[in-house]
Amino acid sequence: MSSQPSSASIYIAGLKLCESYNRQYGTDFRCVMPTNLYGPGDNFDLANSHVLPALIRRFHQATLDAAPTVSVWGSGAPRRELLHVDDMAAACLHVMNLDTDTWRTQVDPRCSHLNVGTGVDLTIADLAHLVADIVGFQGQLVFDPSHPDGPPQKRLDVTRLNALGWSARIDLAEGIRQTYHWFLHHQDQARL
């Protein structure tokens, strides 16, 4: 077991530090907790990427190889929420530009973060079929339950952020198309 803290534990420690400063010193630090992000510049390395860039890369390679099948890890049943990085940036700017009184209508200094996401999820199977269609893969998808599924669902409640006037604008299919386009034109720069 590694003695290094996880990126999630570091993030949570930073969030708690901001909450403590806000309570103790009256500062107005604002934190956001994103869902799974994707987009241009993503990590497409099959050994350590997230599900969406891994699917893009696998379907792209299978299309080039005219492979009859692509194996997708797990049962395909788990549900995931995905947010384009440009929407994440827009949410951060929105939150930073809110006046303090408006911010405090939705955020208590003792819990000073907001979830940022779409509030909508889909199954890994549906995501895989969507990516296959966008990439142009003509073969069959085979789900491999010998690999772990991970948590059954990862979706954030974005009600408070929506109440502050922000919601995601980039449709998932369009965002995947943009990301695939970036991948096609930047494979020499992509983390493969």
Query: Which band of pLDDT confidence, cut at 50, 70 and 90, is reported for residue 7?
Result: confident
Q: Is the pLDDT of residue 61 over 70?
A: yes
159 located within any domain: yes
Token pair in block for residue 52 = 């969406």
pTM above 0.85? yes
In a domain, 11, yes or no: no
The whole-number pLDDT of residue 6 equals 81
* Residue 192 belongs to a domain: no
What CATH number is associated with residue 73?
A: 3.90.25.10
CB 44 within 8 Å of CB 190: yes
Is 80 within a domain?
yes
Domain assignment present for 162: yes
Mean confidence (pLDDT) of the chain? 92
3-class secondary structure, 5? coil
Q: What local confidence, expressed as pLDDT, does residue 191 receive?
A: 64
> For residues 103 and 97, what is the distance between their CA atoms, to the nearest angstrom?
9
Which residue segment(s) compose the domain that 167 sits in? Answer: 31-185
Residue 14 forms part of a structural domain: no
Q: Residue 135 — very low, low, confident or very high, per pLDDT cuts 50/70/90?
A: very high
156: pLDDT strictly greater than 60: yes
Distance CA 147, CA 159 (A): 34
Average pLDDT of span 96-100: 95
Q: How many domains are there within the chain? A: 1
Q: How far is CA 1 from the centre of its chain?
A: 26
